[in-house]
Structure formats: C-alpha cells, structure tokens
Amino acid sequence: MTALLTADWYPYGSNGYFRKVEIYEMAWQKEVNINNVVIVAARFGGPIAVVRDRTKPDKTVMKKMGKPIIAIYSSAGNLISSFVWNSGQLIHLGWSSTEELLCIQENGEVLIYSIFGKYVHAFRMGQEVEDTKVIEARVFDSSVGTGICVLTGAYRLFLTNTIKDPKVRKLAEIPGVISLPDSWAVICEDRQSFVLLFKATEIYYLSENQVIQKTVNSANEEKGSVITDVAVSSCYEHVAMYNSQDQLWIGSSNLRKNYRLYDMDGSGRPKQLVWCGSEAVVGVWDEHIIIIGRNEDSLSYVYDMPVKLIPEIDCVRVISTYNTEIIQPVPKVILETYRLNSTSPGSYLLEASKQFTKKNHRANEYIHLVKKELFSAINQCIEASSHELNTENQKMLIRAAQFGKTFAEGFTSENFVRMCMTLRILNAVRDPKIGIFLTFPQFVHLTLKNLLDRLILRRHYYLAIKAANYMRMSNEDGSMKILEHWAYYKVSQLEADKEQMAHNIANKLGQASGISYVSIAKKSASYGRIKLAVKLLDYEPKPELQVSMLLSLEKYTEALGKAVQSGNTDLINIVIVNMWKKMPLKDFQLEIRKDSVVYALYKKYCREHKKETLLNVYRQEDDNNEIAAYYIKNAFDAENYSMRTTLLENAKEYYKKAKNEINLVLCEEQKKLILKQKELEDKFKREFLDLPLQETIYRLLLMQENKIAEDLRSMFHVPDRKFWWLRIKSLGELNDFNELDKFSKIKKSPIGYEPFIDICLQHKNKFEANKYIGRIKEENKIKYLVKMSYYMEAIRIAEAQCDISALEYIRANCDTASVIEINSAIARLNKSDS
Amino acid sequence: MSTHLSKGKLNIGLVQERARKELLDLIDKCEGSKVIVWDDGLSGPFGLIAEYTLLKKRDAGKMYLLRPGKLKTPDIENVIFITRPYLRLMNYIAEIIHSEEVSRQKKKWHLFYVPMKSLLCEEYLKNKGVYGSLTIIDQIQACILFPFDNDLMSMELDKAFMEYYVESDPTCLYYIAQAILMLEDLFGSIKRISGKGNAAVQVMKLLNKLEKGTESNPISKYHSNVQIDQLILIDREVDFLSMLATQLTYEGLIDELYGINNCTVKLPIEKFSQEEDLTESSSDNKQLILNSADEVFSEICDKNFFAIGQSLSRRAKQISQQMDERKDGRTLQEMKQFVAKLPQMLSIKKSLANHMTVAEMIKEVTDSEDFAENLKNEQEIILGLVTDKVHPYIEECMARNVDIVKVLRLICMQSVVNCGLKQKVLEQYKRDIVQTYGFKHLLTLINLEKVGLLKVQQGTRSFAVFRKTLKLISENNNFINPKDIHFVHGIYAPLSVRLAQNFVKPNGIRSINDVITSLPGSLFDHSTSQTTTFIHRIMCDKSLRVGGSLSSQNDSAKVVLVFFIGGCTFAEIAALRYLSQQEDLNVEFVIATTKIMNGNSFIKCLMESPS
C-alpha cells in the first residue's frame, strides 16, 4: 500500500520528491483543441478563458464568423459561458483577483466581464495609450487588488495598480529604445510596482519617475546574451531569466542574488516559462516540460500533447486538451508520513492504524513506538491529510489520527474537527461539477470567506449556504449574505412575474432575518426593474431605508405612503421637501393634500422656511381665517403705518369671507386705532403707535387730554366700567384727589367705591380714602376698615354682626394692640352663644 | 446612577444609566480634547443624566450654548454639537462650521441628535455644504426621556403641546411611542394599554405598529419579567382645567411662583441666610434641587401648602432633639454613634432651613390680597357659579392691567368649565383683551380657539355632570390628613387623575364610560397576552374579565405608567402619588410626560410672539 501512496512521486534533489497528480479529466475534450486556442486561467483553481488564437487561425471558425469567441470554462473544463467578441482588437486577456475577465484592447480600453460572460464595465488607460496603441500587456496582482501594465507602440509603459479605481501612471522612458524590448515583467514590492525590462544586453528597472540600469553578476552577461523570457514568482521574490545562450538564470527579484545558472543543454527557447510556487521554475517545450529547482536538480516530464501551465502559489497547474494535473514538490509532512523507512511519529501512527484495521497485533507495537510522541504523531497525520488530494487517503490519515487520539489523554480535538470540516469543504468544491481545485495552502491563503464569494459568483448558492452553516460562519458573513446574493440574482432574471418574485424572495429570506431588502431592491433597480424594486421594499422593515430608496427611485407617492405609515414625521418632511423639488407643482399640491398630517406638516414647513408660499397654500384651500391671520402677522412686520393699515384691510376682507364677525370688527378697530394714534403722534410728538387702546387712553388721561380720551372711549365702545377704572387710576397717579372726589360724584360708580379707597391708599392718602368709606358695599366694610387700619371700628361691626370668622380675619391682619380686644370680643360672642 | 432614582418600585435609575452610557460612549468616540455645544433646551435636562464633573473627566469640560453667529472656541480638537433635530439649529451649526473654515487649526466636528437623527436636517446640512465636515453624526436615543425622580420622567419637549394641537404636527406622538418602546425594552412589555383622547389613540396605534416592526428583536419582546402592568395614556385635551387651576401643593406653588426647571428652582439669594457656602449658587440666585434625594422636601412637596407647617415644625423639633442628644452622650460608644449620624442630621438641618425660608416666601404671596382674591374667584369659576356673563373680577383684572397670562387663565377656565362661552361673552373678552393688551394678542386668542380652550358654547354642559359623578369638587377639606385628592387645588380634584384612578380599578372604565363620552377623543383599553393581541372594546364584558384577572394575578401593588401627552402639573403628580399611597387601590403610579407645566407656562406656550 505504501508503494501506491508514493507512486506518482519523482525523486528530486537530495532529499525531496515532486508529485504529479491528475485532478480533472477535462469535460471540454470534444470542444477545445488546446493547439488552436489561447488559454488564460485564473489562479486558485479559477476559471479558464479560451479564445481562438489569432496567430493560429482556425479556418472553419474564420469563415463562419469574423469575430473571435471567448468561452469561459471551469477549471474542470465545464463550459460556464461564451460570448462573441464584438469590440476592438484584443491584445491581452487576464483574470482579476475577484475572477473577472479583463480584456485589454489595442486602444487601451479595458473591458471587464463576469464569468457568465456578462459585460460589467470598462475603463481606458488614457489618451496617450489610445493614440500610440497597446502592443503588449500584463495583468498582475498588486497589494491593492489587480493591476494592469501595458506597453505601447511608442515603447512606453503605462501602469495602474488597481482596476477598481484605476489611476494610470506613465512609467519612465526606456533609455534609447527604438524597438520592441526582448521581454518584460511587472514586480510589486510593498506598495510599489515597477517593471523589469530586458532590451538587448541591458536590464532596466522602470518605475514612475526613474530608470535604474542593472547588471547581472553572471559570466554569460559579458558574452552579450539577450534575455528572451522572464518569469517572476507569485511572491515577487524570485525571478528566472532565459537567455539566448540557452541558459536559465535564477535569482532574487532585485537581481542581487543568483541562486543558480542552469544550462539547458540545447532544449531551445521554452514556449512557456513559469514558477512552480517559489521552489522551482517550469518550462514547456513541445514534447516535454522541465522542472528546474531553485537551487538544485531538475526533472523532466514527457508529454505527448501540448500543455499550458498555470502558476499557483504552491504548485503549477498543467492543462491539456484531455486533463489537468498539478505538479508540486511533495509537502514535507506528507513526505515524512509516507516515505518508506520513515521514523517520524506520524508514520508510525499511520502504520499502527493500518495494522489495527487489519486486526493485526503489530498495531500495538507501533503504538508503543510512538507513545512518547503521540501528540505530534496525531498532528502530523492531521496535517498530512490536509495535503492529501485523494479522499480515500484523507480518510486513512484521519482514521490514523482518530486512532491515535484514543491513546492520547488530554488531546484537544479542535484541530482534528476543524480539519475534517475543512476537508469536506475542499472535497466538495473540488468536485468537477463545481470545479474549484484548491490545495490546502491555497485555501488558507484564499480564506473561507473568499471561497464562499467564489461559490456565490458561480451561483452555487445552495452549496455556499450549506458550507457557511457547516463551518459555523456568522449569519452576517454567511447565510444572510449568500441569500442576499441569491436575491440579487433572482431580481436580475427578467422573465419572472414581479409580484410573485417579490413574494418568493421574501418567503425564502424571511421577514426578520436581518436581510437588507433595500440592497436587493437597489440591485433590482440597477437592472431597470423599478417596479420589482418597489415591491421588494414593502418587505424592508426599516421605514427610513424604504423612504430613502423610494426617493432615489423618484417614487414619491409610494415614499410618502411609507413615511405616513411609519408615523415618523421626519420621514414625511424629507419626502415633502424632495417632492416639492422634483414634482410638477400641480401634482405636488394634489399629492400633499391627500393626507391631513402631510398637509399640516407641509404648512408648518412653509410657515418656518418658505413664508412666501404660505399665502398660496391657504388660498388653495380657501382658508380665509388663516389668510387673515397671515396678513395680521405681516402687519406687525410692516415698516410703516400705512402699510399696516393696508394689510389690516386685507385681513378684514378675508374675515368677512370667513364670516368671522368679531375678528373683522377687531381688525377694523385696530385700523382705526392706528390712524388715531398716528394723529396723536403728530399732534403731541409723542409715541403712541402700537400701544394698546387702554394704554393710549390712560396716557391721554395722564396728559389730562380728557376730551380726546373721551372721544376714543366712545369711538371704540370702551365699557363704562373700564373707563371708570382708567379714570380713577390716572387721577391717583396724578395725585389729583380733588378731581377724584368730583369724579366720584358725577354719577353712581359702576364699579363701586372700593377702587377709590384702594387708589387713595396706594398713593398713601388715608385722608382722601376716608371720604369713600361710607359709600362702599356693606359686605366689604370690615375688609376696608382693616385695610385702613380702623381695627376698633371693624371689631365693633363684626361683633355686632356676631361674625366670628370676620373677627378672625381682623386678628390675622391687625396690630398687636387690637388682638386683645378681638379675643375678648370672640369670648363674649362664644359666651352669648352658649 | 443617582440613588434617589432607584428607590421606587420601578427603577428609574436604569433610564438614567442607559442615557448616560449612550452619551458617554459617543463622547468617548471623539478622541482628544473637546468642547460641547448645547442646544439651549438640552443643557439643563442633560444635567439630570450626567453631572458636569463626569463630563469634565472625559476631557469635555467646556460647554457652550448653540447660538447664531461665530463660536469662540479655544484651540481644541473636537467640537461636539448636541441638539434637537431642528432646522433652525442646523443653520447655526452650518454658520459656525463655515466661519472656522478659514482658520488654520483644523477641528473635528461632531453632531449628536437628541433623541433621533433627522434626514431633513441632514439634507439641510448637505445643502449648506457642511455635512461632509462632520466626523461623527449620531443620535442619543435614550435621552428621549429624562429621569426626574423615582416615579417621574419628562421628555422636556416644551413645544409639544403647541406643535400637536395648534400646528397638527404629530412629531411628539412618534417620540412618545419611541419613549414607551424604550421603557418596554428596560422593564418588559406592557400588557395592558388604556387611554383617553385623540392623541392617546394615535400613540396607541403607533405603538402597535412599531412593536410589530421590532418583533425581530427578541430581547426586548420577551423580557422575562414584566415590571409595568398597565399604561394609561392621557391626552391633555381631555382635561384642560387641571392644567389651568392654581396648584396649592408646596412644589406646585414653587413652580407657579418661581418656575421649576429640571428639578431645580432659582430663588433670590437675599432671602437666604448668609452662612451658606456660596459655591453652589451663582451671584444673585440660590439654586435649590428639588427631588426625593432631599428627605425634607420629599415629605412636604406633595402636601397642600397650608399643611406643611406642621410637618416642618415636627421635623424641626426632631432635629433639635437629635442635636441635643450629644449632651446626653456619655459613653464613647454613644458619641461614636452620634458622630456617624451627624452628616445626615446636618444635611437635614440645612434643607429644613432652606425649605422654611421658601415656605415663608410663598406664604408672603399666598397671604396677599391679590392671591386670595384670585383663588376665591377661580374657585367660584370651577364651582360653576359664574357661567353666562363676563366675570367682573376678570374685567377688573384687565382694567388693572394684570398680567395677561393670569387673565387668559381665568377666561379659559370659565370657558372649559362651562363647555364654552356664550358668543357675546366670548366676543367681549376678545375685544377687551385686544384693547387692553394690544392687537397682537388676537393671534394668541386664535391659538386658544384652535386648541379649544376658548370656544362658543354648544350643547349640554357636560362638565357640570361629571363634576358631580366623578366627585371633582369637595369644599372644606382637611389638608393635613386629606381624604381625597381635592387638596392639590384646594377644592378641585384633577379630572385627569380621576380618569387614571378609574382606569386601574377592575370595573372602573365601564363605570365612567357613559359619563365621559362627551370628553374629546375615544376611550380604549387593550390587553395583550403573550402570543395574541386581543383588541377589545370596553363595552364587551369579556374584555373586562381579562382586565380583572390580570389585576388579581398577584397581590403586590401593580405598577401603572401614566403618560400625559401634552404636559402635566405638579398638582397632578401629587394627586397620583397620593393615590399610590392609598392601600385600597393597590397601585404604584409612575408618571411620564412631554413636559411638566403649570397654568402660566401652558398659556405662554400658546401665546403668539410676533417678530
């Protein structure tokens, strides 16, 4: 059995092996002849773009259609999509790190397609590129995504580090170049990208603003050899250069170190030269490929058909018409576990487990051997299983680990469980139907999250959800996101019924699972399916999101409806403001009047921020009272009295329409008052304007303009009682007590004589107050006697009336001397009572 | 958490704690030195959530008020605006940010809305071109309610009443619903909601809708213990009279005479003895904090003012006795005990001195002829003695040019008690107001008419009916040991509180249903069980059984949240607290409102002030 495990191993170097494993039998066998096409594959087991190679014209295709067809296959060779290339002259194809196909045209335009052959978007590399035409291009991984570098007909290089937000920079001029460089490659270090370029015997580093000329410390250099091919490792640390002397120079990418100079011995220029991880360089010739170790040795495989190499971070994919293989150095842990005569603990444990399954007693012996290192033995088996590509062998290793665990006290199973889960996921995606062949290191590098994204991208929603849930991902990164993408996909399908689809989506996603219906609606809108978007928004639980989205779709009526439903006035306001801006005025005015709350808020907004429109609003609804009030308000702001009276006249008119008699009269009177006050101001050169009527009369009385005061009183129907109050008050203020006395005698006071006393007392004239004490009402007598400090008199009256509460009132307000008198009076009354 | 807030059956301290956490978390997000610029109306209430020292610790010592024009801030890294979402304020903010654009020192601007973000404001800021200059824009949603005392919360929405009843702007209703949701989040969902009035119905409907929307949040929905048994929503429109009538409780009078804001009253300093340390008072004001943390105040605040003398003198005797104990203290042990009690005794002594001074100041006013005369006439109006004619006292007040607020209060009372005024009477009042106080007050009168405070009499005088059936009037009450809630206004029991009282009784709602149909808005009483919602009309007997069974579930006092939509008075609060103490009702009331008001502030919020 052990022999079988290492059957595909080839010894390599002093202590290592390479293995070559077939991973897929290509489903495209009948459609694709790798001889006639250009193959561009994405890394991490990504999709393969196949395009007819224009340099090898296929006559049949040529005749049928003049345009090339680009077909996209999964890494297992299943057709995903294909489309006819209708745009300009294609120069180069490449894949972005998010598996989008980048098609670089001669005019410098980069068209981006999804794996389903759908056009996503495009950008240009700039006018200068367009003018001078692209002749060569490279797509590369940068620290910020995927970058593109093009070489133009003028032998200038233009580079952008990202296609997401492309900023194209022109690199420094290649010194003295008048013809095509022999070869070039892009290298990224930290955040910087530069181009390594070979021209005749010269080597240059080109960045945006400088050129550095390099020399390579190798003997051949002096002989003036030309470097025709260059390969940079995916980590950008190593570089391999093939020169016209049929030599391969391998060294560090800064060219400071030379690991090896390998003589090809006449194999000639390779058709393709790539790195296999960072361990070795692989070259393709017609009949074979050669693996040249970074430091030592070489290995050659014979192929009887053309192949294409795809470099990966830890291996190289070898694609042919019939199958795909990976070639990689055998991982160390596998080596230690599988190799014959290995003494590593993992190897013993594996053997123990095997013997145990065979029910052989030797199992015990092996366990005994490994007892001391059981933990590392188990871990070795677990780790080895991760690099094992065959599921049966994975099971064997996992079984061995599990077997070991039964003897290992205190071993935590976490890693073990995690690895089992990971292997299930890896096996699932490696299935030819899915066709994402990831090695374990690739998976770790890519992360589960990105793997799920790739499943979503391929519309394997079901598997993605299963995987996410199986790996216990949070809802946010896992099932929720996947469902959302499913919904995005759903809404892009144009044929389905809107109502039904909104319903279906909601059914599947549920109301409360935290799905953002807004983003689904947004997607739907982006496909031009506005009605479906509106339907979908019905399921969005957050009204503020509903409303904002509906506003952006210019669905004002719906937005208003949702805003009103929410009860949140802020939302209603924002809809009103937007409707107002965008809708024809007539429609707007009709719309906002449909709901009373909306209308009220609209009016309030007008009142506070658009005063000038208010009048129109009131007019629209014939709200005469409000129009009148509006004029009144404006009257206060008016600059002069004549404007004021005009505005009041307006107000009057509308109160008349509103049949609001009293307000009409009040406006009329105010108008008259203003005119009168103006008159008074002119006459007396004093301020009268804006004083209330009462104050106006009072001031006139103080000015002893009794005649005018009297005029005003009759003019404005001031009640008698009020006029008496004013008169008394003004006379008190003027200290004219004679006049007060006279006034009291004109006729019977309509307000009694108590105010006369009050005013006298207020102006500290007890003598004058005495005059009126006889004329006040009987029930107020005691109170006023107390006010005037005639306590004895008050007590006398109270006692005569047998009014104990009156006596108590007096007691509470009198001086100490009278208290004794009151007490005895109360005593007397109590006595007579009993 | 302030300890006095957590002494009630419902731990209002949790409200404070949540608000404080939200505030401080947001402030902590702004790294570096900072100043806070407050919306005028918020700086006060926020004192109830986080004391100044707490903010100072967060390097946010400096405070400014948000005013139009430039802001003179020192060189500081962060400027934090904390405001209500009003466009007017956004304008100020835009101006301030614009004015700093030229300065070399780059500041970070932050904007925290209370209680909620506003799209309208954000659009406005965008249009003004300053939206991008704001680093953090967030909301302090928990500050939708400010904790006043262990049974009292206010939203501090000064204009809520005016906005809803005059402008028909229902923003406050949405806020109220949000506030109730927050309380449900803290104290478990409320199973029974009752209420009266149009606004109450609106809030109830909103609550139903919003609760449906938050069902996804299982934490709040299935709170293990239900701490609030019932919610009673009372629309101010149902009972204007209690808002207008003069309050006669101690706290009510302080509010009427001096105005209480955020549990604090400012009093003229000269009345207070000089030995006080002056640190806590500004130059001409003495600030007194009025809440249950003050033992003396808590005992007297809800009593009728004429009854507090006894309490104060008993307290005084007690404290002097305790102080005298030191003379008897012979053993070291006794002395130690005495010293331990000393700080508390001293604080009681100090508070006692303060409240005696305040009481004296109030007594000066209540003893005055004006006050007595006003009260006498007000009570005559409430008793329904003045109905069809212009009240001579009101007329006299106008002739004497008494403050218009006081006059309007009386006129409105007359209108409310008589369910409107005779057309002629109303017209005469209007003319008299305009002639006396100026034409601009026609607009005030229009507002009062819009609200329904002033109206022309129509139909039956229903007030007279429920004055009797609800026992709203009782003369000659014992203020020291009151038998009912009339003491808060002397002779009148607040209608709103009577409603609440009936709402919590097992058969109460049915018994008063016929009586109060004439009050505006419908009456409702809904119970929700764990899974289904029964919305039942109060008329059907089944629902009453549900209500009944709920109350009999446990014998400990039910917690009932009374939410006054459009404001309430200290007198109403005192009346509800009185009812909480009555054993036969077995209810603990917790009160929330949009704003604590009194007759003066109520009328003032409706007065038009033309620019």
Question: Would you say residue B549 has pLDDT above 70?
Answer: no
Please tell me whether residues B571 and B504 are part of one structural domain: yes
> Which of B154, B164, B84, B46 minimizes the C-alpha distance to B595?
B154
* Residues A348 and A367 grouped into a single domain: yes
Q: In sequence order, what are the beta bridge partners of A323?
A: A25
Residue B481 within a domain: no
Are B194 and B214 members of one domain? Answer: yes
Cβ A571–B427 below 8 Å, yes or no? no
For residue B486, being part of any structural domain is answered with: no
* Tens of pLDDT, residues A576-595: 999 999 989 888 888 888 88
The pair of structure tokens assigned to B399 is 């002739």
**Could you say which of B177, B216, B435 has the minimum Cβ distance to residue A694?**
B435
User: Rounded mean pLDDT of B272-293?
Assistant: 69
- Taking the CA of residue B305 and the nearest CA in chain A, the distance in Å comes to 18
CA B355 – CA B303 distance, rounded (Å): 13
Report the phi/psi class of residue B188: left, alpha or beta, with left for phi > 0 and alpha for psi in -120 to 50: left
Tokens 């129509």 correspond to B458
What amino acid is encoded at A431 in this protein? D
Query: Which of A566, A570, A722 should we substitute to test contact with B (largest number of B Cβ atoms within 10 Å)?
Result: A570
- The first and second tokens of residue A647, run together, are 């505005």
pLDDT of residue B534: 36
Say yes or no to pLDDT of B221 above 70: no
Q: Which of residues 590-609 of B touch A (CB under 8 A)?
A: 608
Domain shared by B314 and B395, yes or no = no
**Cβ(B38)–Cβ(B11) below 8 Å:** no
Give the span between the Cα atoms of A789 and A783, in whole angstroms. 10
Tens of pLDDT, residue by residue over A658-689, are 898 899 999 999 999 999 999 999 999 888 88
In this predicted structure, which of A236-240, A809-813, B22-26, B381-385 has the lowest mean pLDDT? A809-813
For residue A438, tell me if it sits in a domain: yes
Tally the residues of chain B: 611
Tell whether A103 is covered by a domain: no
Query: How sure is the predictor about A611, in pLDDT bands with cuts at 50, 70 and 90?
Result: confident
Query: Which residue from A388, A410, A330, A9 is spatially nearest to A400, judged by alpha carbons?
Result: A388
* Six token digits for residue B577: 């607290």
Judged against a pLDDT cut of 90, whether residue B153 lies above it is answered with yes
Residue A428 and residue A464 in contact, taking contact as beta carbons nearer than 8 Å: no
In percent, the amount of chain A with pLDDT more than 90 equals 16
In the predicted model, is pLDDT for residue B54 greater than 90? no
State whether residue B28 is helix, strand or coil.
helix
- Could you give the CA distance from residue A35 to residue A55 in angstroms, rounded to a whole number? 11
Q: Are strands A258-263 and A192-199 parallel, antiparallel or unpaired?
A: unpaired
Domain membership flag for residue A496: yes
Last residue in a domain, options A517, A541, A565: A541
Q: What is the mean pLDDT of chain A?
A: 85
- B561: distance to nearest CA of chain A, Å? 22
Contact A70, A83 (CB under 8 A): yes
Q: What is the mean pLDDT of the segment spanning B550-571? A: 80
Q: How confident is the model at residue B283 (pLDDT cuts 50, 70, 90)?
A: low
Task: Look at residue B154 in the predicted model and tell me its pLDDT.
Answer: 95
pLDDT for res B277: 52
Are A433 and A468 in a shared domain?
Answer: yes
Residues 220-279 of B with CB under 8 A from A: none
Q: Are residues A486 and A467 in the same domain?
A: no
Q: Are A232 and A275 in contact (CB under 8 A)?
A: yes
CA atoms of A210 and A208, how far apart (whole Å): 6
Q: A-contacting residues of B 406-445, CB under 8 Å? A: 426-427, 430-432, 434-440, 442-443
Residue whose pair of structure tokens reads 């919610």 in the numeric block: B231
Query: For chain A, first and last CA: distance in Å?
Result: 131
Q: CB-based contacts of B452: which residues, under 8 Å, 6+ apart?
A: B165, B237, B240, B520
CATH of the domain at B339: 3.90.830.10
Q: Using the predicted structure, report yes or no on whether residue A221 has a pLDDT greater than 60.
A: no
Q: Is residue B580 part of a domain?
A: yes
CATH code for the domain of B66: 3.40.50.2060
Distance CA B480, CA B484 (A): 11
**Which residue in B170, B209, B435 is closest to A716 by CB distance?**
B435
Whether A811 is covered by a domain: the verdict is no
Q: Which residue has the higher pLDDT, A248 or A494?
A: A248
Domains: count for chain B: 4
**Do the domain assignments include residue A452?**
yes
DSSP-based three-state secondary structure for A665: helix
SS3 A138: strand
Say yes or no: B7 and B138 in one domain.
yes
> DSSP assignment of A702-722, as one string?
HTT-HHHHHHHHHHTT--HHH
Domain that holds residue B276: 261-366
Q: What is the pLDDT of residue B301?
A: 92
Task: Specify if B575 maps to a domain.
Answer: yes
The alpha-carbon gap from A721 to the nearest alpha carbon of chain B, in Å, equals 9
- CB contact (8 A) between residue B443 and residue A629: yes
Do A395 and A363 share a structural domain? yes
Band (B406; pLDDT cuts 50, 70, 90)? very high
Q: B254 lies in a domain?
A: no
Element at B565 (helix H, strand E): strand B558-565
What span, in angstroms and rounded, lies between the C-alpha atoms of B565 and A212?
A: 79
pLDDT for res A614: 86
Position B537 pLDDT exceeds 50: no
Tell which of B341, B366, B391 closes a domain: B366
H/E stretch holding A806 reads helix A804-813
Q: What is the pLDDT of residues A687-741, one digit of tens each?
A: 888 899 999 999 999 999 999 999 999 999 888 888 999 999 999 999 989 889 8
Tell me how far apart the alpha carbons of residues A619 and A606 are, in angstroms, rounded to a whole number.
Answer: 14
Concatenated DSSP letters for A333-384? HHHHHHSTT--SHHHHHHHHHHHHHTT-THHHHHHHHHGGGHHHHHHHHHHH
Question: Are B435 and A571 in contact (CB < 8 Å)?
Answer: no
A227-241, A461-475, B561-575: least confident range: A461-475
The domain boundary, picked from B98, B125, B142, lies at B142
B65 touches chain A (CB under 8 A): no
Same domain for B401 and B350:
no
Which residue of chain B comes nearest to A723, CA vs CA?
Answer: B399
Nearest CA in chain B to A577: B120
Torsion over CA: A796, A799, A800, A804 (sign): positive
Hey, what amino acid is at B246?
Answer: T
B108-113 sheet: strands from edge to edge: B62-65, B34-38, B78-83, B108-113, B134-139
Residue B339: CB atoms within 10 A of its CB come to 11
Comparing alpha-carbon positions, the chain A residue that sits nearest to B437 is: A692
Residues B132 and B12 in one domain: yes
Q: Is B395 on the interface with A (CB under 8 A)?
A: yes
- Judge contact between A688 and A696, C-beta under 8 A: yes
Report the C-alpha gap between A177 and A197 in whole angstroms: 11
Helix, strand and coil in chain A, % to nearest 5:
50, 20, 30
B472 within a domain of the structure (yes/no): no
Question: What sign has the CA pseudo-torsion A493, A495, A499, A501?
Answer: negative
ipTM value for the complex: 0.87
Min Cα–Cα distance to chain A from B37, Å: 23
Name the residue facing A569 among B170, B400, B427 (closest C-beta).
B170
User: Of chain B residues 171-210, which have a CB less than 8 A from chain A?
Assistant: 171, 173-174, 177, 206, 209-210
Q: Give the bridge partners for A293, in sequence order.
A: A280
List C-alpha distances in Å: A140 to A144, A148, B492: 11, 6, 87
Q: Which of B439, B440, B442, B449 to mutate to test the interface with A (most CBs of A within 10 A)?
A: B439
Q: In terms of residue numbers, what domain contains A361?
A: 331-411
* pLDDT, average across residues B7-18: 89
**pLDDT score of A768:** 87
Q: What percent of chain A has pLDDT over 70?
A: 95
User: Is pLDDT at B536 greater than 80 in this prediction?
Assistant: no
Instruction: For residues B15 and B135, state if they share a domain.
Output: yes
Judge if B29 and B123 occupy the same domain. Answer: yes
Test mutation, A699, A722, A779, chain B, max B CBs within 10 A: A722
- Say if residue B598 is in the same domain as residue B574: yes
How many domains in chain A? 3
Least confident of A804-818, B29-43, B407-421, B533-547: B533-547
Q: CA-to-CA distance for B516 and B524, rounded, in angstroms?
A: 12
| Each residue's pLDDT tens digit, B481-516 | 899 999 999 999 999 999 999 999 877 777 777 777
Q: What is the mean pLDDT of residues B28-33?
A: 86
Q: Which residues of chain B are within 8 Å of residue A567 when distances are taken between CB atoms?
A: 170, 173-174, 177, 206, 209-210
Residue the block writes with tokens 């209108």: B415
Q: Over A40-54, what HEC string results?
A: EECCCCCCEEEEECC
| B408 shares its domain with B538 | no
d(CA B251, CA A464): 67
CB atoms inside a 10 Å sphere around CB B384 = 15
- Measured CA to CA, the distance from residue A601 to residue A560 in angstroms comes to 12
**Same domain, yes or no: B129 and B215:** no
Residues in A closer than 8 angstroms to B120, CB to CB, are 570, 573-574, 577
Residues of A in Cβ contact (< 8 Å) with B610: 633, 636-637
Cα dihedral B574/B580/B582/B587 (nearest 10) = 150
What local confidence, expressed as pLDDT, does residue B112 receive? 94
Distance CA B370, CA B299 (A): 29
* Residue B161 and residue B83 share a domain: no
A395 and A357 fall within a common domain: yes
User: Per-residue pLDDT for B551 more than 50?
Assistant: no
Question: What is the distance in angstroms between the Cα of B59 and the nearest Cα belonging to chain A?
Answer: 33
Residue B61 domain-assigned? yes
Q: How far apart are the CA of B216 and the nearest CA of chain A, in angstroms?
A: 5
Backbone angles phi, psi at A25, to 5 degrees: -95, 125
Amino acid at A258: N
Quickly state the pLDDT bin for A223 (edges 50, 70, 90).
low
Give the ranges where A553-595 is alpha helix by DSSP (H).
Answer: 556-566, 569-582, 585-592
Give every CB contact of residue B119 below 8 A, 6+ residues apart in sequence: A544, A547, A548, A570, A571, A573, A574
Q: Beta partners for A83? A: A70
Pairwise CB contact (< 8 Å): A692 & B215: no
In chain A, the residue whose alpha carbon lies closest to the alpha carbon of B168 is: A600
Task: Give the model's confidence band at B218: pLDDT under 50 very low, under 70 low, under 90 confident, else very high.
Answer: very low
Q: Tell me how far apart the alpha carbons of residues A551 and A557 are, in angstroms, rounded to a whole number.
A: 9
CB contact under 8 A, A567 and B174: yes
Give the pLDDT score at B543: 36
Nearest to B169 among A571, A604, A667 (CB): A604
In a domain, B255, yes or no: no
pLDDT (tens digit per residue) in A117-139: 888 889 998 888 888 889 889 99
Q: B 512-551 residues with CB below 8 A of A?
A: none
Per residue in B326-356, pLDDT (tens digit) is 666 677 887 788 888 888 888 888 899 999 9
Q: Which segment of A72-81, A513-522, A557-566, B204-213 scores lowest on mean pLDDT?
A: A513-522
User: For position B389, which CATH number holds?
Assistant: 1.25.40.850
B337, B366, B395: which is the final residue of a domain?
Answer: B366
Q: Are residues A484 and A468 in the same domain?
A: no
